[in-house]
Structure 1
Amino acid sequence: MPIGTVPSYQPPFPFIYGHVQTLYPTLLRKMQAGGCRRQRIDTPDGDFLDIDWHLAGQGYAERVVVVSHGLEGNSRKKYPLGMARHLNSQGWDVVCLNFRGCSGEPNLLPRFYHSGVTDDLHTVLCHTLQTGGYKKAALIGFSMGGNQTLKYLGEDPAKVPTEVVAAVTFSVPCDLANASRRLDRLENRLYMEYFMKGLREKVRIKAQMFPDILDTQGLAGMRTFLPFDDKYTAPIHGFKDARDYYTKCASLQFLPSIKVPTLLVQAKDDPFLADSCYPVKEAEASTYLHLEIPSYGGHVGFMQPGEVYWSEARAAKFLEDNDI
């Protein structure tokens, strides 16, 4: 597939800097949740997931998009809301899922979420298709949600419902080990502390619920992903250690098996992504994977003047081009 920069995306100054692109939407973009409807659904393992429905009209449309947020995000962050608003304006229903523990209420089981979770995405997708009777569906994932989306599409393509006709992902740390090391850099300390603050709090809550399984010794001093994933993420979710988790859950290895048209957008100035997160060879060898590397965009940024961000317009165009 064609690979390269996207000359059509030329943000104004100072959005030519990756850190500005990364921080601006979170801090200064104006966005409201609007008229979405929250629903709680059961999971096969006896837990629950909270999802938000954004309908384009009074009833269900013929097509729907399921949106997955990023690490320590939720369905009402500005980037899923912006995507939902734009796709609604184009006549598509949108369901934004919350990872376990991200909807404002702790989940019932010891497990929470991680970069390789795909069973919850499958549960939400199947529930959405059944509820709305949709003829066509697409997936959109940001950052960690993008890694989950790509892994889901490639790990067992036969399991993906036939209604899924396309996917779009942005700012994906598809090589988890190298992306983790990239985030350890001094320049990314602000982001890392934001992520770790939320993760530490989630473990404290879980430790109160399951004191025989979890303890918080050493938790307060954890400032990077590796020790946290070694002690908590890996053993809770059945991995040997953090490196085993990174190896098995990185979506990079699943890209060659994807069987639906999929767009992966990785900004060249993304401060979170290592060089190995730009899968040029995999895209060149694939019939289905489209890789675009705009010069600008930061991490889940892609700001442009006006209400609609470039990422939202690009996603809608890709879905339209693939007859969603």
Structure 2
Amino acid sequence: MSGNNSFQPPWYFRSGQVQTILASSHFRAWGKNPVRDAAREIIIETPEGVRLQGYHSSRGSAISRGLVILLHGWEGSVDSSYIACTGKALYHRGYDIFRLNFRDHGSSHHLNRGIFYAVLLEEVFQAVQQISRMEEEKPVFLVGFSLGGNFALRIARQMRHAPIDNIRHVVGISPVLDPQKATDIIDCQPFIRKYFLKKWLESLKIKQQLFPDVYDFSELFSLSTIQAVTDHMLDRFSDYKSASDYFKAYSIVNNAIEDLPVPTTIIAAADDPIIPVEDFYQLKLNHRTKLIIHTYGGHNGFIDG
């Protein structure tokens, strides 16, 4: 475990809020991207019949250093700027790229009647398992951002019982550790709250339009906080008795990821406006897990120019 101040952006990029905004800015993803150009859509179906959408960008006849699976954050997608930019950088460095959409993210709402919950680890684990088997002759690296970082770390934990042999390293960038804290913090920041709330409600509208016989979210559209929408969603459309129970089900605080069986790196920033840095210092980690905390970087940022 270590603090690390090697990331030193220019002074005008040092604000955690600025870094967080730039992480998802469409300006970053402008221009030609060989990952998008080479992408082939793949629909992965789990044994339970869940279908998840992904995009595989192979280097073709060029020598590949391995496959990197990228997991986006909540209400992000395979086209999020931080996914596109990371994929492009790694592709140029010799890696094949697989960008996976969670259920009901990107353009995948039509694939499943059921709605997305962050507790749906098994379907994402099975997708990562299948993707890794597709490239069984290559080393595989799993990288997740924000909620995707939370998924990546839980997948690493699940590998204690169901190893994925060719996964060589797992990386969680700005991973959500305590979902209740993150929700409270988002709801206290008007700009960030409006950003996530707008995206979530737009996503639910799409789901309702696709499955009008199953979903009526009309009561949600007047709610003004993430917590309020969460409470209503869980009450109407889940078996969870409370948001507290739901959040605890995918929380990874304290010793929750202490015994990861695969080399893992967690990257965070002290100025992350969503994930409290003290929660990272309270993690109990084994010798295979490295914690890097930069002074700057915001949430999913780490942009130096």
Normalising to structure 2: TM-score of the pair? 0.89
SS where residue 243 of structure 1 aligns? helix
| TM-aligned CA deviation for residue 241 of structure 1 | 2.3
| TM-aligned CA deviation for residue 129 of structure 1 | 2.4
Does the 8 Å contact 1:116/1:148 carry over to 2?
no
Look up the match of 1:41: 44
Structure-1 separation of matches of 2:272 and 2:5: 17
| TM-aligned CA deviation for residue 59 of structure 1 | 6.5
Does the 8 Å contact 1:18/1:271 carry over to 2?
yes
Structure-1 separation of matches of 2:131 and 2:267: 25
The gaps in structure 2 that reach 5 residues or longer are none
Does the 8 Å contact 1:157/1:259 carry over to 2?
yes
| TM-aligned CA deviation for residue 276 of structure 1 | 4.8
* 1:236-251 correspondence runs (5 A): 236=237, 238-251=239-252
Does the 8 Å contact 1:235/1:241 carry over to 2?
no
Normalising to structure 1: TM-score of the pair? 0.84
Structure-2 separation of matches of 1:262 and 1:59: 28
| TM-aligned CA deviation for residue 279 of structure 1 | 3.8
Look up the match of 1:274: 276
- 1:183 aligned residue (160, 183, 186): 186
Look up the match of 2:28: 29
The gaps in structure 1 that reach 5 residues or longer are 306-324
Structure-1 separation of matches of 2:63 and 2:235: 39
CA distance 1:206–1:26, change in 2 (3 Å): closer
SS where residue 161 of structure 2 aligns? helix
1:270 partner letter = D
Structure-1 separation of matches of 2:297 and 2:9: 8
Question: Number of residues paired by the alignment?
Answer: 299
Structure-1 separation of matches of 2:79 and 2:126: 20
Verify: 1:12 aligned to 2:15, yes or no: no
Look up the match of 2:2: 3
Structure-1 separation of matches of 2:220 and 2:148: 25
Look up the match of 1:196: 197
Look up the match of 1:223: 224
Does the 8 Å contact 2:172/2:265 carry over to 1?
yes
Look up the match of 1:302: 302
| TM-aligned CA deviation for residue 135 of structure 1 | 3.5
- 1:160 aligned residue (160, 163, 169): 163
2:228 partner letter = P
CA distance 1:119–1:234, change in 2 (3 Å): farther
Does the 8 Å contact 1:192/1:224 carry over to 2?
yes
Please, what is the CA RMSD of the aligned residues? Answer: 2.3
Verify: 1:170 aligned to 2:173, yes or no: yes
SS where residue 107 of structure 1 aligns? helix
Look up the match of 1:288: 288
Look up the match of 1:84: 87
- 1:117 aligned residue (116, 120, 145): 120
Stretch moving more, 74-83 or 231-240: 231-240
2:269 partner letter = A
Verify: 1:54 aligned to 2:45, yes or no: no
Structure-2 separation of matches of 1:197 and 1:245: 22
Q: Per-residue displacement from partner, 1:30-89 (whole Å, max 9, x unpaired)?
A: 444333222222233323211111223436846212110001111111211222122222
